[in-house]
Chains A and B, each alone.
Chain A
Amino acid sequence: MFRNQYDTDVTTWSPAGRLFQVEYAMEAVKQGSAAIGLRSKTHVVLGCVNKANSELSSHQKKIFKVDDHIGVAIAGLTADGRVLSRYMRNECINYSFTYDSPLPVGRLVVQLADKAQVCTQRSWKRPYGVGLLVAGLDESGAHLYYNCPSGNYFEYQAFAIGSRSQAAKTYLERRFESFRDTTRDDLVKDALMAIRETLQGETLKSSVCTVAVVGVGEPFHVLDQGTVQQMIDAFEIVAEQEGPAAEPDVDSGQEASAEPEPEQGAAAGEGVAPMDI
């Protein structure tokens, strides 16, 4: 196919103006297991699906605490994600030491995006194969950002990445308007419901998912399995009474995600160059 001629290294443009290596890196993100994030005015919740390779092994860590006020969920090459988390932790610590103040998440995200961009413009490097959902606080409240391997970043009210994330996105799109003013517990419940959408039929148990919360007055921490299972049980009972939730319908072609306030102008032509999403 056409693609194969121009996809050898990241510093080669295709005639259509695309960098295929970067797009392939975004594919790697889509292949990873799902991660979702949602925020209210004061809290951000991150959730991810944890699949262990076999019964014998432990599952991969996909949610990292970066600082008391920032956490990140990753999808894609988890090794790349780990390295980027270490970078983020370093930046936060250095800032805290110099200014005795938490690094505003908006600034960290820009630094991360600039780091990713470098890898799209050096022939001896490759793009990071991981998408990051960065949840954090700064002076203006709670924020959720998505960092792409392309070096783009966007701010979201709610978002999902990874395999079968479209189901979660559809659920979030339906509900995102209520997130701004919702309580912290309802936000966690919504996160669990969104995770359930990506499981597509499998039972939602605390052993297959991880949930983390950060908020005003609440440092970033991962909820323990017991708490998560309790919350699942609480709303599963309610769900049984109300009947099954609406089926996730997959919108063909459209990758429109809930983004009422994109930080960076997302390109209007979504179909042409996927990296601009």
Chain B
Amino acid sequence: MKPFGKHSLLGASGEISDFQEILHYLDELILYDNMWDDGNSLGPKEVHNYLTRVMYNRRNKFNPLWNSLVLGGVKNGNKYLGTVSMIGVNFEDNHVATGFGNHLARPILRQEWHENLSFEDGVKLLEKCMHVLLYRDRSAVNKLQIAKITKEGVTIHQPYSLKTYWEVSAFENPAQGAIGSW
């Protein structure tokens, strides 16, 4: 995750080196935007569209940036949350996810998200989603990091760990019912 500009934050999953490349493009974009030194600035919607163009054009050249991007921001009181995939599919919604999150987390969010979630409730909801994902990914770590964007700006909190419980009876002696050489 990385904040950029005054109003926004970008998160990605996938190839981290490609993400770093994208951050490089964004740094240049924001720099040129600031160099105009006028009252205008690129907000999250503009950057989202720019990234969509980049991702889609790379996909057309059969040389994609292997990332799923999540972009959020608040500008002039307007909240924005959007996503771009590595093939350039983009949309904005009240909740977005990458990869398996689309299959496991979004149904939970569809049920439990509502307009007036407080920050603490929002974090709890996200932690619930992360738990679900964590239990089902053999290569996941139980660490996560929360970022908050309001009209005051972006704050990224320190990473912290989720508690997990593995003492489920079904996991004891897993080979118990197995027949054969396995």
Which of A98, A104, A106 is B49 in contact with, Cβ under 8 Å? A98
15 A-B pairs besides A99-B45, A100-B46 with CB distance below 8 A are A98-B49, A99-B46, A100-B49, A101-B42, A101-B43, A101-B46, A104-B38, A104-B40, A106-B38, A106-B40, A107-B36, A110-B36, A139-B39, A139-B40, A140-B39
Contacts of B53 in A (CB 8 A): 97-98
Which residues from 58 to 93 on chain A have a C-beta closer than 8 Å to any C-beta of chain B? Answer: none
Task: Look across to chain A and name the residue whose beta carbon is closest to the beta carbon of B46.
Answer: A99
Is A138 an interface residue, CB under 8 A from the partner? yes
Give a binary string over A112-155; 1 marks a CB under 8 Å from any B CB, 0 the rest. Answer: 00000000000000000000000000111000000000000000
- Cα A140 to Cα B39 in complex, Å, equals 6
The reply to whether B40 and A140 contact each other, CB–CB distance below 8 Å, is: yes
Is B50 an interface residue, CB under 8 A from the partner? yes
Chain B interface (Cβ < 8 Å from any Cβ of A): 36, 38-43, 45-50, 53
Contacts of A100 in B (CB 8 A): 45-46, 48-49
Contacts of A97 in B (CB 8 A): 53
Sample 14 A-B pairs with CB under 8 A, ordered by A number: A98-B49, A98-B50, A98-B53, A100-B46, A101-B43, A101-B45, A101-B46, A104-B40, A106-B40, A107-B40, A139-B39, A139-B40, A140-B39, A140-B40
Contacts of B43 in A (CB 8 A): 101
Task: Look across to chain B and name the residue whose beta carbon is closest to the beta carbon of A140.
Answer: B39
The reply to whether A107 and B42 contact each other, CB–CB distance below 8 Å, is: no
The reply to whether A99 and B42 contact each other, CB–CB distance below 8 Å, is: yes
The reply to whether A101 and B39 contact each other, CB–CB distance below 8 Å, is: no
- Cα A156 to Cα B43 in complex, Å, equals 27
- Cα A104 to Cα B38 in complex, Å, equals 10
Contacts of A99 in B (CB 8 A): 42, 45-47, 49-50
The reply to whether A138 and B45 contact each other, CB–CB distance below 8 Å, is: no
The reply to whether A101 and B49 contact each other, CB–CB distance below 8 Å, is: yes
Task: Look across to chain A and name the residue whose beta carbon is closest to the beta carbon of B76.
Answer: A139
CB distance from B29 to the nearest CB of A (A): 10
CB distance from B151 to the nearest CB of A (A): 15
- Cα A139 to Cα B45 in complex, Å, equals 14
The reply to whether B50 and A138 contact each other, CB–CB distance below 8 Å, is: no
- Cα A101 to Cα B41 in complex, Å, equals 11
The reply to whether A138 and B39 contact each other, CB–CB distance below 8 Å, is: yes
Contacts of B39 in A (CB 8 A): 106, 138-140
Contacts of A104 in B (CB 8 A): 38, 40
Across the A-B interface, the 9 shortest Cβ-Cβ residue pairs: A100-B49, A99-B46, A140-B39, A104-B40, A101-B46, A139-B40, A106-B38, A99-B49, A98-B53
CB distance from A78 to the nearest CB of B (A): 30
- Cα A99 to Cα B47 in complex, Å, equals 7
CB distance from B93 to the nearest CB of A (A): 16
- Cα A110 to Cα B46 in complex, Å, equals 20
CB distance from B55 to the nearest CB of A (A): 13
Task: Look across to chain A and name the residue whose beta carbon is closest to the beta carbon of B52.
Answer: A100
Task: Look across to chain B and name the residue whose beta carbon is closest to the beta carbon of A104.
Answer: B40
- Cα A110 to Cα B36 in complex, Å, equals 9
Contacts of B50 in A (CB 8 A): 98-99
Which of A98, A101, A107 is B38 in contact with, Cβ under 8 Å? A107
Task: Look across to chain A and name the residue whose beta carbon is closest to the beta carbon of B54.
Answer: A98
Task: Look across to chain B and name the residue whose beta carbon is closest to the beta carbon of A107.
Answer: B36
Task: Look across to chain B and name the residue whose beta carbon is closest to the beta carbon of A101.
Answer: B46
- Cα A137 to Cα B49 in complex, Å, equals 21
CB distance from B116 to the nearest CB of A (A): 28
- Cα A106 to Cα B46 in complex, Å, equals 17
Most chain A beta carbons < 10 A, residue from B40, B50, B53:
B40
Task: Look across to chain B and name the residue whose beta carbon is closest to the beta carbon of A97.
Answer: B53
Task: Look across to chain B and name the residue whose beta carbon is closest to the beta carbon of A95.
Answer: B46
